[in-house]
Amino acid sequence: MSKKTNFIKKDSISQFFSQMLFTALQIDSMAEIEAQHFRDELVGYYSKNTVDLPEFRGSKDKFWFINTGIVYLYAYTEDQSINVYAFFEAGNIIVMDYLFKKEGNVEFYLGVMKTTHLICADAELIDNLDKVKQGTKALFSQLIANQNIKMTEKNTLLGFIPAERVRLFVNKYTEVRVGQKNIMPARIAAAYMGMNVYSYSRTLNTIENNRI
C-alpha cells in the first residue's frame, strides 16, 4: 500500500468534526447559523498509517486543525537521522508559516500518526469568520501561539534523566503505551527524547511491566 493511499482525503466532513473547529474558535450558537456555509471550505483527511503530510509542501497559507490523533514536527539532521521537535494533539491548530518564522531556515516536515483525523483550510477562512464573529482572528492568533509552547516542551523534558523522560512522556501520550497497536512508532518517540530506539524501548517496557 502506498503512502498516498495511507492518507485519505474525505469526501465530506461530519458536522461533529467541523463543529470541533468552530468550538475551538468559540463560534457561538448565534454565529454558528451564519457559519454553516463556511463548512464547505473545510477539507478533511484521515491517516490509515504513520505518514508524512503530503499536502504540506507549498501550503504555508493553510492551517491544520487536529480532530483526533497526533501530528509531529521534525527535520533531518546532517547524518540524515530525524530530530522530532514537537507533538500536536487533538484540538491543536498548526500554521506552518508561523513555525517557519520561528525556526529560520530549518526544512520542516509534518508527520501524521495513524488513525489521525485532520481538517485543512485556507488561512483566509479566519478573516471571513471574523466578519461573522468579531474577535475570531485574535483568538486564532492566540491558539497558534500555543505552537511556541509546544516547541519548548521538548527542552523541558530533556532536563530529566532518560527513565523519567519516558515516564512523563508515556503519561502525556498514551498512544505510546504497549498494547496500543503501535500508534506512535518507537523511532519517533525516541528521537523526541534524545534516546536511541533500543534504550527507549527497553525503558518503556520496564515502565509498562511495573504497571501490571
The pTM (predicted TM-score) of the whole model is 0.82
Average pLDDT of every residue of the chain:
80
Give dist(CA 60, CA 42) in Å, integer.
16
By C-alpha distance, which of 80, 78, 79, 73 is closest to 52?
73
User: 31-40, 81-90, 153-162, 167-176: which range is least confident on average?
Assistant: 31-40
Q: How large a percentage of the chain has pLDDT more than 70?
A: 80
Q: How confident is the model at residue 175 (pLDDT cuts 50, 70, 90)?
A: low
Give dist(CA 194, CA 107) in Å, integer.
19
